[in-house]
Amino acid sequence: MKLKYSLTALLVSCGAAHGANLLTPGDFIIGIGFGSESNYPGPESPSKLLDGQTNTKYLNFGKDNSGFIVTPGSGSSVAQSAVFRTANDSPERDPSNVSIYGTNDPISSIDNGTGNNENWSLISSFNANLPDSRLTTSAPIDFANGTAYSSYRVTFDNVKNSGGANSSQLDEFQLFSGLGGTGGSILGAADSIIAFDTDTGASSSFPAGEAPGFGIDGNSGTKYLNFGGVNTGFIVTPSGGASIISAFTMTTGNDAPGRDPNAYVLYGTNDAITSAQNSDGSNENWVRIQGGTLNPPGGRGAAYDSEAVANATAFTSYRFDVVGNGGDGLMQFAEIQFDGTFIPEPSSAMLAMLGLLPVFRRRR
């Protein structure tokens, strides 16, 4: 009887080395940056959507694909309808097509980031059909949903007249637990709310003496520094071949604690790397492995606690995005190391034993 193996299970069964350091000096590594286009004036922040006041508003210069993430202070809820209120001017800036998502992940996305750090489930997409009249509340929009979520992401997929608008805007927004705007209001003025725009542009650059390779050179006296700050990172291809990452560790840079990474997203791919140095790193098909927050140590050149990675899939390259730091405009770390399992090529004898290669009989 032949046994069927997944590729990863087969390779692991063929003598993979466990607990190895996956990164070595000289591995292929490039810096990347993917700054969000989200930006709003201080007096027109996302919190204005929830203040219950007429003639305040949330405005985002990111325009299409901008929006907000809100975490109701009242806890998890099942949203079944939404109501919008138009802003004071410029109807061309009104959201047209809108998508609402939910998650039960902790929110690690940052204000004015890409809003993609969490696992989001689409609840509904619809045309908001907002009136051209200003400071007007829309008719309730219903959607089928029976799942409770702790946070919501509302994306303005496009505005009424993208060519004639320089931003998106909205005066007020509310979710309700019942259809037709009935049931309890889910959102309140004290809720945590941040802006985002999923559109990005390349935003990576670094000094020659602080290039990405210095982050894996085994020397805590050197560092990788990126002028792009948050939403920068690197792509690395371990020279040892395909691997299964199980943990990583980092070491702080020599100065400016505000540059220390405190939130990340880790991806893997088996594509050949075609993204260029200082690009947004999006040329490949990336599989999200996990994301989360980090607790930087206070000292300089100090090691973070090891971060466990829940993963059973082999990848040939990894992408590490720094999506949060202490607020400094730059990002840096002295060292990073991935731990895990290299996956060696199985021998012909092993493949034959598993029935995956023909076994030829000797001639008599």
Q: Decide if 1 is inside a domain.
A: no
Total Cβ atoms within 10 A of residue 267: 21
Number of structural domains (the chain) is 2
Q: Do 177 and 230 belong to one domain?
A: no
| Spatial contact of 14 and 230, defined as CB atoms under 8 Å apart | no
Q: Do 194 and 208 belong to one domain?
A: no
Q: Decide if 360 is inside a domain.
A: no
Q: Look at residues 161, 177, 199 and tell me which one is the last residue of a structural domain.
A: 199
- Bridge-partner residues for 266, per DSSP? 290, 320
Residue 99's pLDDT is 98
Residue 231's pLDDT is 86
Q: Do 51 and 185 belong to one domain?
A: yes
Give CA–CA dist 98/30, Å, rounded.
Answer: 36
| Spatial contact of 108 and 194, defined as CB atoms under 8 Å apart | no
Helix and strand numbers (H, E) in the chain are 2, 23
Give CA–CA dist 295/304, Å, rounded.
Answer: 7
Residue 55's pLDDT is 86
CATH of the domain at 177: 2.60.120.260
Instruction: Extract the tokens encoding 8.
Output: 């990863």
Q: Decide if 259 is inside a domain.
A: yes
**Per-residue model confidence as pLDDT tens digits over 312-323:** 999 999 999 998
**Low-confidence stretches of the chain (pLDDT beneath 50):** 1-17, 359-364
> Could you give the dihedral angle defined by the CA atoms of residues 231, 268, 215 and 283, in that order, rounded to the nearest 10 degrees?
-60
Give CA–CA dist 82/175, Å, rounded.
Answer: 5
Residues whose CB falls within 8 Å of the CB of residue 231, separated by 6 or more in sequence, listed in order:
33, 34, 35, 36, 113, 114, 200, 203, 321, 322, 323
Give CA–CA dist 29/218, Å, rounded.
Answer: 14
| Spatial contact of 114 and 34, defined as CB atoms under 8 Å apart | yes
Q: Do 49 and 195 belong to one domain?
A: yes
Total Cβ atoms within 10 A of residue 206: 24
| Spatial contact of 220 and 301, defined as CB atoms under 8 Å apart | yes
Q: What is the DSSP letter of 315?
A: B
Residue 354's pLDDT is 52
Q: Look at residues 199, 222, 254 and tell me which one is the last residue of a structural domain.
A: 199
What does the chain come to in residues?
A: 364
Q: Do 192 and 53 belong to one domain?
A: yes
Q: Look at residues 138, 169, 199 and tell me which one is the last residue of a structural domain.
A: 199
Q: Which amino acid is at 170?
A: L
Q: What is the DSSP letter of 362?
A: P
| Spatial contact of 100 and 72, defined as CB atoms under 8 Å apart | no
Q: Decide if 361 is inside a domain.
A: no
Q: Do 182 and 73 belong to one domain?
A: yes
Residue 228's pLDDT is 86
What's the whole-model pTM score? 0.60
Q: Which domain holds residue 52?
A: 42-199
